[in-house]
Structure 1
């Protein structure tokens, strides 16, 4: 299965935020969209990604004053990305190796979607369920 199959199932919408947005504003957006990370963009394209984990670390280091700071102060700027043609298994390995839970999907330098670890797990569970059904059908027919 490929990343394009995951996007076809879940959609290609991506919640984005600008680097100037306050961290308090980021938390509002994460809550409104019920997500754990947002892609940071500008007119020039993808600049980074910021997650709940980044906020927690920042709050631990700097306290509540962090909430007034811009997202650019805590975002990750070296972002692991994938393409729609990549296999889901290679994305799983990328997520594990880089210890990330959200990976933007990029086509020709443009943001085309995002895949979370939850999407990967859901896809794998659907594959296993399908295999199980096929095996059950094979056994009962044989």
Structure 2
């Protein structure tokens, strides 16, 4: 299965935030959007970074509540790993596991086209395994 298949089922909507917004705004957006990460973008198409709940918590631990008044750009990850829709679920699952991140923006022609979480990847991999099991069971019993 390809990432494009995941996006067909999930949709291509991506929650973004401007890098100049405050971390306190980020926290509100994460909660309102019901997501674990936002792509940092000034126009909703380009990728300037990514910022997650983990980034906020880690900076709160080291810097205290003052981090809430910093711009998102101060805590975001600027070097963002991305993938194309043609990547396979297996490839992305391996990269996400090895590099220990949970969200990967999907790009087409260097523009934001979607985002995939580790939950999305696992969900679709489980569906594949169940389908294979059903086919094998039907083959054996048929």
Instruction: Please tell me the TM-score bracket, short chain as reference.
Output: over 0.9
Whole-angstrom distance in 2 between the partners of 1:61 and 1:113: 32
Residue number in structure 2 paired with 1:89: 90
Q: Which moved more, 1:91-100 or 1:124-133?
A: 91-100
The 3-state SS of whatever aligns with 2:48 is strand
User: Deviation per CA, 1:44-101, whole angstroms, max 9, x where unpaired?
Assistant: 8110000011001110111011111110000000000000001111111211222110
Residue number in structure 2 paired with 1:24: 24
Unaligned runs of 5+ in 1: none
1:57 pairs with 2:58:
yes
Residue number in structure 1 paired with 2:33: 33
Residue number in structure 2 paired with 1:67: 68
TM-score by length of 1: 0.96
Residue number in structure 1 paired with 2:9: 9
The 3-state SS of whatever aligns with 1:72 is helix
Segments ≥4 residues shifted beyond 6 Å = none
Whole-angstrom distance in 1 between the partners of 2:57 and 2:66: 13
RMSD: 1.0
Residue number in structure 2 paired with 1:101: 102
User: Deviation per CA, 1:94-127, whole angstroms, max 9, x where unpaired?
Assistant: 1122211000001101000000000010011100
Q: Which moved more, 1:47-56 or 1:88-97?
A: 88-97
Whole-angstrom distance in 2 between the partners of 1:110 and 1:52: 24
Whole-angstrom distance in 1 between the partners of 2:127 and 2:91: 17
The 3-state SS of whatever aligns with 2:31 is helix
User: Deviation per CA, 1:5-64, whole angstroms, max 9, x where unpaired?
Assistant: 000011110000000111111111111111100000024811000001100111011101
TM-score by length of 2: 0.96
